[in-house]
Amino acid sequence: MQTEQQPCAVAEELSGYLDGELSQQEQQRVMIHLRSCPHCQQLLADMQALRGDMKVAVHVSADARDLPKIMGDKPARWLGILGWSALILGVLLVTSFFFWELALDLLTNSSVPWWVRLGIAGFYLGLLGLFLMVLRQRLVAMKTDKYRKVKL
């Protein structure tokens, strides 16, 4: 039992007892202690009540209430489309320039062995092929995506 000067050592284990995280021996020790300590019984009851209250509590954020309004905002949607389009165009232009310069360097630089040039060209062509394969699969799957019209 608890006194004013000395708290119960079992009180620290009540959370683990409630969650089922204690060993069988520790659980039995806590159960025996709970039979004789009204303070720990009350503490366990409070913890169980708090756990129940937490399970039924529903957090409603402002975003959840305003989500249809935010998602339906046409200027924001067009700005998003414009931003993504500009980003994709920029990435395509920069990578195209990089690959063009690499190809020119590989073709005109005779100090690099032919097998290295062929290997690098094969590597980048393989990456391009894989990218196009995934892009095609996503475009085909988008037509039959059953979650396409799901509202968040």
pLDDT digits (tens, 9 = 90+) for 67-125: 777 777 888 888 989 999 999 999 999 988 988 888 888 778 888 888 888 888 888 88
Q: What is the pLDDT of residues 54-81, one digit of tens each?
A: 877 766 666 666 777 777 788 888 898 9
25, 62, 108 from 122: Cα distances, Å: 64, 52, 17
- Residue 101 burial class via C-beta count within 10 angstroms: exposed 0-12, middle 13-18, buried 19 and up: exposed
d(CA 135, CA 141): 10
| Cα–Cα distance measured from residue 8 to residue 16, given in angstroms and rounded to the nearest whole number | 15
Q: What residues contact 8, with CB distance under 8 A and at least 6 apart?
A: 1, 2, 33, 37, 39, 40
Average the pLDDT over 4-8 and give the result. Answer: 58
* 38, 10 contact by CB (below 8 A): no
Structure tokens at 2: 């608890």
Q: Are 48 and 77 in contact (CB under 8 A)?
A: no
Q: Does residue 147 sit in helix, strand or coil?
A: coil
Cα gap 38→18, rounded to integer Å? 17
For residue 50, the Cα-to-chain-centroid distance in whole angstroms is: 28
